[in-house]
Chains A and B, each alone.
Chain A
Amino acid sequence: MKKLNTTLDREPMTSQEIRDRQNFNYILKETTAAKVPIWKSIWFYGPVGIAMVTMVVSAVRINPKNEKFDNKTTLSQFNTTNTDDYSANTIVVEKSEELTETKSDSNTETEAPTVENTQTVNPSNTTTPNVKADPSNMDPAFLANNETKTIEEPEVKALPKLETVVEPKMVKTMPSIAGVFNGRVPISQICSTGKIDCNNGYEIVSFDIQYDNGVSSTVEHVRGSQIPPILCRKLRRFNVGSPVFITRIVAMNAKGETKQLLSMNIEPTF
């Protein structure tokens, strides 16, 4: 089959004929119409998509609802005796459910009512759960009694297990002068109290203080929690506006246990 058409000695077109068919406005119009809007181009979706995903992830992470949930968990861990708190109870029961899941398969029958009870605890849930009977045919008073019974059961089971979940609260022992650990402290407060305080039942026994004595930087070891008046005068004279480091802070509690605390970095000000 022939691939080409051949035309012999075709009538040539004059330049005028061709020029008459020029239409630059049509070219302009078509070019504008053919342009893809920026929001339809693939270059738009890449950055915008990434930005959207970032926003969603940030929103989920910063969402205060998540904090509320954490608070509830803490409440459920610490206020285990408060049976009136429905939300706390709900979490308690859910936790017991998680724990029972680790049991062997033979316990699965006993787990079933526990899961049902989780639903009955929630006051917003208006449906009345029952495994065997149709709840619509039952007396509301009977249902109410039945609810209170089913609520109590998981609590009794869950409480001893929760004891293993609760962790002792860790409070860090921190030194401070006039409530400041790191930062600016008025020199008047340093010299009036002149004492390094400590929380958690600890008292400062000794510390090193590094300051400028007017000639060079010096380190002095101080016994007790008090900054001596002579040091105070030097701080007032030479160290206002420059940092003073309090290091190797040793504290002791009533039982005689000692510990070294974090170093402080204060800046005396007027």
Chain B
Amino acid sequence: MAVNPIYHQTKSTLLQERDWIMEAKKDPERFGPLYTKYHEQIFRYVYQRMDDQEQAFDVTSQVFIKALSNLHKYEYRGVPFSSWLYRIAKSELYQSFRDRKAKRTVNVDTVHLADITEEFDDDDLVADKSKLIRCLAELREADLQLIELRYFEKRAYREIGEILDVTENNAKVKTFRALERLKKQFLK
């Protein structure tokens, strides 16, 4: 499974990121490199869960405005800055749904659906895509989020853990359980 290359950083790039953050805390204009680095990543995360492209750009901007406004509260914990940005993005995303009274969107790539059915470990299962999509829509929000992060966005468990503020192992277990629930739903 392919992984997100921006997430996996060496220690030196993490330290460089920390320096950028410290400089940005003193002077907001120094936030530029962080913005350039993470804009696409955050936009893709937001757009994955939204219909409208313009709305997704607006929410992404809002994420960075929030991040810059609250940068003084940020504490470096040895993980990429994106973990913090994802948490802001999640909050802004749901705020946007509430404000616009809009429904959350799941963008499904049919290629990735095959990855899910592979995980079901049952040779007798015939991949009924439309049924699987229906089952996905019926999943709880937390479970759907885990499936989305792991199978549609191809994120590492460690990254999922940092986005959801849980440990890597916990993320793995939770994803497995979510998949089990999806399978159960699918076999009904």
Contact = CB atoms under 8 A, between A and B. Distances in A.
Given A4-B103, A24-B36, A31 B68 contact: yes
B151 interface: no
B35 interface: yes
Interface residues of B, number: 31
B69 A34 contact: yes
Interface string B143-178: 010000000000000000000000000000000000
Contacts of A31: 28, 65, 68-69
A68 B68 CA distance: 59
User: Binding site of B, secondary structure by majority: helix, strand, loop or mixed?
Assistant: helix
Interface in B19-71: 28-29, 31-32, 35-36, 39-40, 43-44, 47, 51, 53, 57, 61, 64-65, 68-69
B40 A15 contact: yes
Contacts of A3: 103-104, 137
A133 B8 CA distance: 99
Given A13-B47, A15-B40, A21-B57, A7 B107 contact: yes
A6 B106 contact: yes
Contacts of A34: 65, 69
Interface residues of A, number: 25
B68 A22 contact: no
A27 B38 CA distance: 14
B105 interface: yes
B136 interface: yes
B110 A8 contact: yes
Contacts of A26: 61
Nearest to A5: B105
Nearest to B56: A13
Nearest to A31: B68
Contacts, number: 77
Contact of B39 (A4, A8, A18): A18
A5 B134 CA distance: 10
Contacts of B29: 28
Contacts of B51: 5, 7
B26 to A, nearest CB: 14
A19 B104 contact: no
A19 B57 CA distance: 11
Contact of B32 (A2, A21, A24): A24
A8 B104 contact: no
Contact of B106 (A5, A18, A30): A5
Contacts of B142: none
B108 interface: yes
Contact of A6 (B47, B65, B68, B133): B133
A169 interface: no
Contacts of B110: 8-9
Contacts of A30: 61, 65
A23 interface: yes
B109 interface: yes
A67 to B, nearest CB: 50
Given A13-B53, A22-B39, A6 B108 contact: yes
Contacts of B65: 27, 30-31, 34
B105 A35 contact: no
B105 A4 contact: yes
Contacts of B68: 27-28, 31
Given A24-B32, A27-B35, 6 more contacts: A4-B103, A4-B144, A5-B51, A7-B51, A7-B108, A13-B47
28 contacts: A3-B104, A4-B104, A5-B103, A5-B104, A6-B105, A6-B107, A6-B108, A7-B51, A7-B108, A8-B133, A9-B109, A13-B44, A13-B53, A18-B40, A18-B43, A19-B39, A19-B40, A21-B43, A21-B57, A22-B36, A23-B61, A24-B32, A27-B31, A27-B68, A28-B28, A30-B65, A31-B65, A34-B69
Interface of A: 2-10, 13, 15, 18-19, 21-24, 26-28, 30-32, 34-35
* 9 nearest A-B pairs in the assembled complex, by CB-CB distance: A5-B105, A31-B68, A4-B137, A18-B40, A30-B65, A7-B107, A27-B64, A5-B103, A6-B106
